[in-house]
Chain A
Amino acid sequence: MADASIAPAAIAGMFDLLSPSPPGWGGNLLRGLLNSLQIAFGAFGMGLLIGTVGAYGKLYGGPVVRDIAAIYTTIVRAVPELVLILLLYYAGTDLINRILEGIGYQRVDISGLVAGIVVLGFVQGAYATEVLRGAIKAIPQGEIEAARAYGMSPTLMMRRITLPAMLPHALPGLANLWLISTKDTALLAVVGFSELTLVTRQAAGTTKAYFLFFIAAGALYLLITLFSNVILAKVEKWARRGMPSVKEAR
């Protein structure tokens, strides 16, 4: 087999296989990417919400709230994500249907997208709780005290002081969570959700062009990361607006 003779044909075939319309698999890959991004966004957003509630609960809640938050973060962070996904996905949908039947409703088909967002969001929430808790604790106590001393209500203080002041401390951790979220979508392949990794495997299996398709998927994941880095850097610059740069302080 001479490389020189086979190369042009292989390259031509490569583009055919990746072309966006059938028989090319490019369109499927892009749809998979879109699904992955939807789940990543949804899960990260849900994780932020749970994380904010969890962090406030852990820091300011009563004993019961603190215990519930501690059990949640401990269990979610102790169990492998793959196990949690299988558990929450199958057991979770089964539980919901049993409850629905129990109160006299029809069984429902829970869409893979919603289930994926909820399951990954639940996992992200546990990590976000800890990231945000640490960030809130990093706010100089005097700034919180000044907000109290000037008669701010707890919600106003959260909106005007605590959240903006903790953001610069939270962003590096949250950026990690976002990138993990984009890649954790691949775990949903095990429950048959057509995200990027699953469609890549299908394309590769059908065409036997494993190397080509996994490289293509890898490139797409890399693109998400590179694009995210640009956005995250901008957000972090904005969040740190009142802070001298670390270099200056040296």
Chain B
Amino acid sequence: MTEAMLAAGLTDPLQPVTDERAEAIHVWNLHKKFGALEVLKGVSLTAKDGDVVAMIGGSGSGKSTFLRCINFLENPTSGVIRINGEDVQMVSDGEGGQYPANRRQIERIRSRLGMVFQNFNLWQHMTLIQNVIEVPVHVLGMKRDEAMVIGEQLLERVGLSAKRDVYPAYLSGGQQQRGAIARALAIQPRVMLFDEPTSALDPELVGEVLRVIGDLATEGRTMLLVTHEMKFAREVASHVMYLHNGIVEEEGPPEELFGSPKSERLKQFIRTVS
């Protein structure tokens, strides 16, 4: 481990963070408008270390936007976001929106959040192992050979050792997504963010990706998961949020939410998707 990484609070990337259930992400009253369209109308969430929060909801419910606001791929219109106990400072843009006051703070926060995208978004000009070590080496300042050792272990974990020197375009969707998960794990993330990780996959490839994500949940990683896989959400989540039209319609432990949904909308949603 380099000094820089220790200073950044990084520990062995193969081990999940397990301090006593500190608050990893706290979001309060988040609003997001795209022009006149209000996509999020006051969503709040608190995730402690080890929590697996699944966000479900129909198309256009705002669940993906919410996830993207957490690492500021979208700037929330208003609301409080605290990550690793650090409040993100925002300044007004004078047109009713706001943007982060300090780019460095955002970059630092982002480098501790492992984002997994619906469309994998691996860098096409890099081999799989290069994708995995890119952020540790160039953003977090880890030594290249150290990053290689960790990267190879991570690829082995997701079952892609044999593909380490292959470019993403030559991999199946499931392999690319498992590679993207290895890339996210390589930064030793405080929280993993999954944005519909299986929605772009052929049905027969969904299982291999869900298995990897399920293992991560079992070992106690903190995760926010936007998903359409209801059965999977029920199995792995510690907390489920059902979003509808930009608000949390109902939330709670999965047994409760799926077992005895209260709102008519959620009952109907569960009927349509299962």
Chain A positions near chain B (C-beta within 8 angstroms): 140, 142-143, 145-153, 156, 160-161, 164-165, 167-168, 239, 241-244
Per-residue 0/1 for B98-112: is the Cβ within 8 Å of any A Cβ (1 yes, 0 no)?
000001001111111
Enumerate chain B residues within 8 angstroms of A241, measured Cβ to Cβ: 125, 167
Q: Nearest A residue to B113 by beta-carbon distance? A: A149
Question: Is B62 located at the chain interface by the 8 A CB criterion?
Answer: no
Enumerate chain A residues within 8 angstroms of B168, measured Cβ to Cβ: 242
Nearest CB of chain A from residue B179's CB, rounded to whole Å: 12
A142 CA to B124 CA in the complex, in Å?
11
Interface of B is mostly: loop
Of B71, B110, B123, which contacts A161 at CB under 8 A? Answer: B123
Q: Nearest B residue to A163 by beta-carbon distance? A: B125
Question: Is B28 located at the chain interface by the 8 A CB criterion?
Answer: no
Interface of A is mostly: helix
By the criterion CB–CB under 8 Å, are B139 and A152 in contact?
A: yes
List the 8 closest pairs (A to B, CB-CB), nearest first.
A151-B111, A142-B121, A151-B110, A242-B167, A146-B121, A149-B115, A151-B107, A242-B124
Nearest CB of chain B from residue A154's CB, rounded to whole Å: 8
By the criterion CB–CB under 8 Å, are A150 and B167 in contact?
A: no
Of B106, B124, B138, B169, which contacts A160 at CB under 8 A? Answer: B138
Enumerate chain A residues within 8 angstroms of B91, measured Cβ to Cβ: none
Nearest CB of chain B from residue A35's CB, rounded to whole Å: 37
By the criterion CB–CB under 8 Å, are B126 and A151 in contact?
A: no
Can you list 29 contacts pairing A with B, beta carbon distance less than 8 Å?
Answer: A140-B121, A140-B124, A143-B121, A143-B123, A146-B117, A146-B123, A147-B123, A148-B110, A149-B71, A150-B115, A150-B135, A151-B107, A151-B110, A151-B111, A151-B112, A151-B135, A152-B135, A152-B138, A152-B139, A156-B138, A160-B134, A160-B138, A168-B125, A241-B167, A242-B127, A242-B167, A242-B168, A243-B167, A243-B169
A167 CA to B108 CA in the complex, in Å?
29
Question: Is B187 located at the chain interface by the 8 A CB criterion?
Answer: yes
By the criterion CB–CB under 8 Å, are B119 and A150 in contact?
A: no
Enumerate chain A residues within 8 angstroms of B112, measured Cβ to Cβ: 151
Enumerate chain A residues within 8 angstroms of B111, measured Cβ to Cβ: 150-151
Nearest CB of chain B from residue A20's CB, rounded to whole Å: 45
A168 CA to B168 CA in the complex, in Å?
16
Of B121, B126, B139, which contacts A242 at CB under 8 A? Answer: B126
Q: Nearest B residue to A141 by beta-carbon distance? A: B121
By the criterion CB–CB under 8 Å, are A151 and B124 in contact?
A: no
A142 CA to B168 CA in the complex, in Å?
14
By the criterion CB–CB under 8 Å, are B123 and A149 in contact?
A: no
Find residues 160-180 in chain B having any chain A CB closer than 8 Å to their own CB.
167-170
Of B109, B119, B120, B121, which contacts A151 at CB under 8 A? Answer: B109
Known: A151-B110, A152-B107, A160-B134. A145 touches B117 (CB 8 A): yes
Nearest CB of chain A from residue B10's CB, rounded to whole Å: 13
Enumerate chain B residues within 8 angstroms of A153, measured Cβ to Cβ: 103, 107
Enumerate chain B residues within 8 angstroms of A152, measured Cβ to Cβ: 107, 135, 138-139
Nearest CB of chain B from residue A68's CB, rounded to whole Å: 23
Of B103, B109, B115, B127, which contacts A146 at CB under 8 A? Answer: B115
Enumerate chain B residues within 8 angstroms of A145, measured Cβ to Cβ: 73, 117, 121
A143 CA to B111 CA in the complex, in Å?
16
